């Protein structure tokens, strides 16, 4: 689960220095998708060998200072990445920080990847035995080197300079050989490509940046540039979503506009990660034509019907479960009142790389609103329980504040199986629901009762307002909930 963004300045726009600022703002909006490191790469659109690069470990605001991003002021194409490590080292060197930049027979290219490749190890070994050198153990560098190899093989087919930046054929050949999971941005000196795997496992949208949000005084809007991003929340305020990239589609974005250049055979139905709705995506993001916030409210309403309880207040674990708690309160008729205050300056605990950091983040992140808790029977709604070692801390804080009862309601089904497609759940051993009964979990977490949303309930919430493209049957990956993986796993 990483965040990616790319921006291309329109041919008629000459606003110097705007793109790196918009890219940094977009990565800030995608900070919830990765906090380990971030990078930006820019091209001036003329020299096919010269890219400017800014990378670092930490949060976006710590890396992209005004002085740092001023190095990209002349860029007409900028691509960025937030890293949440799955494949690759947990404490990565700067070599692991994306975007990856590689030097090819036709010029420099850069790659930003969200996801995790199934069967990457066999592809990596194949590449190494073919003489391809790899400096990291990440899937993303493997993709970059495979694209570079395809470019070299097709080098003699290029007859003039106008073709140097067009690598659509090489991308189609390379990415067709990989299964899933990837949403990918690939940048040459004069264009950007947005690509989703044929299962559509990770999100990716493309839009146009306009001169203003709305035309005024009879003036018409005109395009300032074009943008591709993991989530629509990363688009600038004056941008409009033109499309969500289809499963298997390759979209080219140049200074002249946006066009679809290739369609790999999509898998029907698709296998979009259902946990994007549960936890990963920001509430104001649009996925599959619907707002994430609305889906989360619906999960709360369905959960209230599936697991009712008599209580005094409905509360939530801020922030990603707020919408589900509101939906639960609305359906149950029990008033919603917050019981926890969230420190906005502490990041998401789930994406911390180890248990100690996750537990420490919980203690720093939350404070209890004692007047709302004391002598109250509380329905505490959360979006999910992964390992369970942080929820116990939260529940104890409520008991210590004088709660009479704590009924835990989870707005997603139990996580019982590992994810191999971009989420850091490599084994069922660390998943509480895979190793304990409901009664054992209640005792371990210290709650009066515990209930989960059903798999059918989650699917119902997601499908209620779902928009589907003609010819594409929408489907969702529920592997971490059901053990039914969309592709065969090679172990």
Distance CA 485, CA 248 (A): 18
Buried b / exposed e over 395-410, threshold 16 CB at 10 Å, is: bebbeebebebbbbbb
- Whether 96 is catalytic is no
Q: Which domains does the chain have, with CATH numbers?
A: 3-267 (3.60.20.10), 293-458 (3.40.50.2020)
- Distances 232 to 76, 114, 203, 227, 265 between C-alpha atoms, Å: 21, 15, 10, 10, 25
Task: Report the first-to-last Cα separation within the chain, whole angstroms.
Answer: 22
How many C-beta atoms lie closer than 10 Å to residue 144's C-beta? 25
Give burial (CB, 10 Å; 0-12/13-18/19+) of 11.
middle
Distance CA 191, CA 77 (A): 7
The binding site for Mg(2+) comprises: 320, 382-383
Backbone angles phi, psi at 361, to 5 degrees: -65, -35
The DSSP H or E segment spanning 295 is helix 292-306
The binding site comprises: 273, 320, 382-383, 419, 477, 480
Tell me the CB-side half-sphere exposure of residue 315, using CA atoms within 13 A: 28
Residue 371: which residues within 8 A CB-CB, separation 6 or more? none
CB contact at 8 A, 5 and 234: yes
Among 2, 13, 205, 233, the one annotated catalytic: 2
Distance CA 337, CA 313 (A): 6
What 8-state DSSP symbol labels residue 487?
S
The percent helix, strand, coil of the chain (3-state, each to 5) is 30, 25, 45
Place of tokens 């929340």: 233
Give burial (CB, 10 Å; 0-12/13-18/19+) of 265.
exposed
E strand segments, 32-190: 37-43, 51-57, 77-83, 100-104, 107-114, 183-187
The binding site for [4Fe-4S] cluster comprises: 273, 419, 477, 480
- pLDDT tens, position by position, for the chain (491 residues)? 899 999 999 998 988 889 999 999 999 999 999 999 999 999 999 999 999 999 999 999 999 999 999 999 999 999 999 998 654 445 557 888 999 999 998 899 999 999 999 888 888 888 888 888 888 888 889 999 999 999 888 877 765 555 678 999 999 999 999 888 999 999 999 999 999 999 999 999 999 999 865 555 555 678 999 999 999 999 999 999 999 999 999 999 999 999 999 999 999 999 999 999 999 999 999 999 999 999 999 999 999 999 999 999 999 998 889 999 999 999 999 999 999 998 877 655 554 545 555 556 676 788 999 999 999 999 999 999 998 888 999 999 999 999 999 999 999 999 999 998 878 677 898 899 999 999 999 999 999 999 999 999 999 999 998 987 777 888 999 999 999 999 887 65
CB contact at 8 A, 346 and 317: no
Distance CA 277, CA 320 (A): 10
């Amino acid at each position: 689960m990483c965040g990616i963004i790319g921006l291309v300045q329109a041919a008629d726009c000459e606003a110097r220095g705007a793109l790196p600022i918009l890219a940094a703002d977009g990565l800030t909006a995608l900070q919830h998708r990765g906090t380990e490191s971030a990078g930006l790469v820019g091209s001036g659109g003329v020299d096919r060998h010269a890219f400017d690069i800014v990378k670092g470990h930490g949060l976006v605001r710590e890396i992209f200072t005004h002085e740092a991003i001023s190095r990209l002021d002349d860029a007409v194409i900028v691509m960025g990445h937030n890293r949440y490590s799955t494949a690759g080292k947990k404490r990565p060197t700067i070599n692991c920080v994306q975007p990856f930049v590689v030097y090819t027979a036709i010029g420099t290219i850069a790659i930003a990847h969200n996801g995790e490749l199934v069967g990457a190890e066999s592809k990596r070994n194949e590449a190494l035995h073919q003489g391809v050198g790899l400096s990291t153990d990440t899937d993303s560098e493997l993709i970059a080197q495979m694209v570079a190899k395809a470019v070299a093989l097709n080098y003699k087919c290029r007859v003039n300079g106008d073709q140097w930046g067009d690598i659509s054929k090489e991308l189609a050949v390379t990415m067709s050989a990989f299964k899933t999971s990837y949403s990918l941005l690939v940048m040459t000196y004069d264009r950007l490509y947005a690509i989703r795997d044929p299962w559509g496992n990770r999100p990716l949208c493309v839009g146009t940046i306009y001169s203003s949000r709305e035309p005024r005084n009879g003036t018409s809007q005109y395009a300032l540039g074009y943008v591709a991003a993991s989530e629509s929340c990363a688009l600038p305020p004056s941008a409009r979503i033109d499309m969500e990239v289809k499963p298997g589609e390759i979209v080219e974005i140049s200074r002249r506009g946006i066009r679809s250049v290739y369609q790999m055979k999509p898998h029907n139905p698709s296998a979009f990660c259902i946990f994007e709705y549960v936890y990963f995506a920001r509430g104001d993001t649009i996925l599959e034509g619907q707002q994430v916030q609305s889906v989360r409210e619906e999960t709360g309403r369905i959960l209230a019907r599936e697991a009712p309880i008599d209580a005094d207040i409905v509360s939530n674990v801020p922030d990603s479960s707020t919408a589900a708690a509101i939906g639960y309160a609305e359906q149950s008729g029990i008033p919603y009142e917050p019981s926890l205050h969230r420190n906005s300056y502490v990041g998401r605990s789930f994406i911390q790389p180890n248990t100690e950091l996750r537990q420490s983040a919980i203690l720093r992140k939350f404070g209890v609103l004692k007047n709302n808790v004391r002598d109250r029977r509380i329905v505490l709604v959360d979006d999910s329980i992964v390992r369970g070692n942080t929820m116990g801390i939260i529940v104890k804080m409520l008991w210590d504040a004088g709660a009479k009862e704590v009924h835990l309601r989870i707005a997603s089904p139990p996580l019982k199986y590992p994810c191999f497609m971009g989420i850091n759940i490599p084994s069922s051993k660390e998943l509480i629901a895979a190793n304990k009964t409901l009664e054992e979990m209640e005792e371990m977490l210290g709650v009066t009762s515990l209930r989960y949303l059903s798999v059918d309930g989650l699917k119902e919430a997601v499908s209620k307002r779902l928009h589907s493209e003609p010819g594409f049957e929408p489907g969702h990956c529920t592997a971490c909930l059901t053990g039914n993986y969309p592709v065969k796993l090679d172990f």
